[in-house]
Amino acid sequence: MVWHVWGGDGPPVVLLHGGSGSWTHWVRNITALVDAGRRVWIPDLPGFGDSARPPAGGDADALPPWVAQGLDELLGDTPCDLVGFSFGAMVGTFVAEQRPERVRRLVLVGAPALSTQRTRPPGLRSWGGLPPGPELDAIHRHNLRVLMLHDEASLDRLALDVHASNLARDRMKRRRLSQTDVLLRTLPHVRCPVAGIWGAHDVLYRGRMEILEPALARAPRFESLTLIAGAGHWVQFEAAEAFDAALAEVLARPLDAAPAPATGSGA
């Protein structure tokens, strides 16, 4: 399992990427965290990026032991702030449940699996077997726009290159847990503070964003839900500055702070 690290000796924050992703899902957020004095750790989760497949299992529930082992080896006894995006939010929640001593605070970003009702993004196009070139680029652009990004102006060359490179290295393609309510059932067992940051136009919850706060509030120490205006599922890329500010506010809270109401705009 490959880990990437930036920053000095500040408090550790661990970022977990989404499905068909790698550390590059966070490429626009690392600098802000380092500038804030944090030591940033981002793994390529097993089966993604440059990490090997896990020896058994093919979904988020197979990965917590490997993530926790990495935390044990890299951080010693120091707990971390754990931030998980999409598929990584499932992995992070399982780690927080199974190894509570490892996680100081859990931040969920665009997490699936909070409802049995799914909003399937319409019109995703198949690209398997196509060689690199304009046709493949066009399909990747379409799928990014349908699933990951709200504003077409956000679909720049960096987004396309990150997406294409990560898809080519995805060896965990039979994932199904995101289509269940497994996080809804797991959150009541998470002991640490929990916060959520979502793009206000996340297609996973199109037309039903109102379910998010009560779902997250199943965590005993739920703190807040922040919605980032004008952003879709890949909120930390599409609205990096607003996301970084929201995350900084969450991470700066004292652990005994009173829970806060949902914040943000759905515009």
Report the 10 Å Cβ neighbour count for 261.
8
Closest CA to 19 of 44, 50, 55: 44
d(CA 196, CA 219): 11
Is 133 contained in some domain? no
Is 138 contained in some domain? no
Is 144 contained in some domain? no
Domain residues for the domain of 185 are 3-121+173-264
Parallel/antiparallel/unpaired status of strands 3-6 and 39-43: antiparallel
d(CA 194, CA 6): 24
Is 147 contained in some domain? no
Is 95 contained in some domain? yes
pLDDT in tens, the chain (267 residues): 999 999 999 999 999 999 999 999 999 999 999 999 999 999 999 999 999 999 988 899 999 999 999 999 999 999 999 999 999 999 999 999 999 999 999 999 999 999 987 666 668 888 777 777 788 889 999 999 999 999 999 999 999 999 999 998 998 877 888 989 999 999 999 999 999 999 999 999 999 999 999 999 999 999 999 999 999 999 999 999 999 999 999 999 998 754 444 455 455
Q: Which residue has the tokens 């490179």?
A: 165
Q: How far is CA 90 from CA 38, 178, 217, in A?
A: 23, 8, 16
pLDDT of residue 266: 52
Is 181 contained in some domain? yes
Q: How many domains does the chain have?
A: 1
Is 228 contained in some domain? yes
pTM across the whole model: 0.94
Is 191 contained in some domain? yes
Q: What is the CATH number of the domain that holds 225?
A: 3.40.50.1820
Give Cβ neighbours of residue 188 (< 8 Å, ≥ 6 apart): 218, 219, 220
Report the 10 Å Cβ neighbour count for 173.
11
Per DSSP, the three-state class of 249 is helix
Query: Residues 39, 11: contact at Cβ < 8 Å?
Result: yes
Q: Which two tokens stand for residue 178?
A: 């995101």
pLDDT of residue 262: 47
d(CA 20, CA 162): 10
DSSP 92-155: HHHHHHH-GGGEEEEEEES---S-S---PPTT----TTPPSSHHHHHHHHHHIIIII-SSGGG-
Query: Residues 30, 236: contact at Cβ < 8 Å?
Result: no
